[in-house]
Amino acid sequence: MSNLLELDDLLTQLSSEGELQSSGRFTVDVSKAKEKLAQFQFQDAFYYILKLVQSAIAGGAAGLALQSRTAEVEVTILGLGFTPYQLENVLYSLVSDSSETTPALRHFAMGLNAAVSTRASEITVQSFDGKDGLEVCWTKKGQRSSLWKPTQTVVQTRLLLKRTAADMFSDIGAKLASRDIFSMFSGDRKGMDREQSLIYDHCAFSPMPITINGRPCPGYDLGVPAYSGVIHTLWSRLFDDGAALDPKHHLFEIYLPKHGVSAIAGPRLTHSRWPYGYEKNGLYSAILVVQARLPDDTVVMPVRDGVSMKPFKVSWEGPGAILYLDARELEVDLTETNLVKNEKTLGILGSLGRTLCEGGLQYLRSGKAVTSHKVRAELEKRLEAGINCPMVFI
């Protein structure tokens, strides 16, 4: 018999729709629960690791540590704890409208639901909410629960996932065949497994510290230097006319301060001469960028609970821009991986566009505008046109 963990093994305690047992557990019809939970699956099951990151950030955690090895994965979230009631009924939070379902619990449940499809042989979750602790383990033999108290009695949640023996050998083979053997030990991107690389690629905007096998998850830099090459740099210092600007250089950046508890982290470094509102280690609700190339389309880069989502393009009469924004308050699809393209989204983007145009005109008057006369004239024209111009999806 295969020891491959399946969704049925996580639903063994469920039996009838909506019934609350005397034990405090909710029970639902297994077949109906499977249908509902199938809607929360991702194209890439390893996306589960990103849902754990989102759970940590939505729950106000102090940090997340990933230890990912050939045989097992261990995720430790400090500062986030679930009650024993929540943990024993964790998947019920996806198939009900229970008042116990918080954003953090919902993210965590989606992560657990997806993790089963990574061909795990065993999943264990331990959580301590500061008062009570519980450990729940799922295997082919079913679910078992027991009291749990961490060595250090601080609020925390831990997930341990054991891979199947077949996948262990498969992963070893893949490492030897496609990865630089030295990068596997140095922590380089090309030597990372699925969990490590997903966090590396999608969590640069996280306002919460994350470590990948003991190494900090790197942040990000914005833009490129204004000039490349010794001759161009020397010429620019003598004349500063902006004629030889690198097209990827950011003419200006506008940083909007965070509002509420949700935010995106700012860059480690910016090359722009006019990063309005930027503060080192700051947290923001949006970052608005205009490049020297003045592209036609505007790219929206949404970030939800620290994880970058699928970007998309919009069109308007204003200058082409890159809009990084915290998407906590925007509508998303069921899996919360894509923004819903509706009038509410366009309204918020339109407001950001007006802010960008007003800030851009201020940039042109600042005395720090480095651009050729031709580009300056085009930028000013598009800034003035964009102030009252709506955006449309492409």
* Cβ partners under 8 Å of residue 192, min gap 6: 200, 212
Q: What is the pLDDT of residues 212-239, one digit of tens each?
A: 999 999 999 999 998 876 445 555 555 5
Q: What is the pLDDT of residues 242-258, one digit of tens each?
A: 557 889 999 999 999 99
SS3 state at 347: helix
First to last CA, the chain: 51
Asked whether the beta carbons of 128 and 153 are under 8 A apart, the reply is yes
User: Counting runs of H as helices and runs of E as strands, what totals does the chain give?
Assistant: 12, 21
Sign for the CA dihedral angle at 259, 265, 268, 274 comes to negative
9-13, 49-53, 200-204, 384-388: the lowest-pLDDT one: 9-13
Q: Which pTM was predicted?
A: 0.88
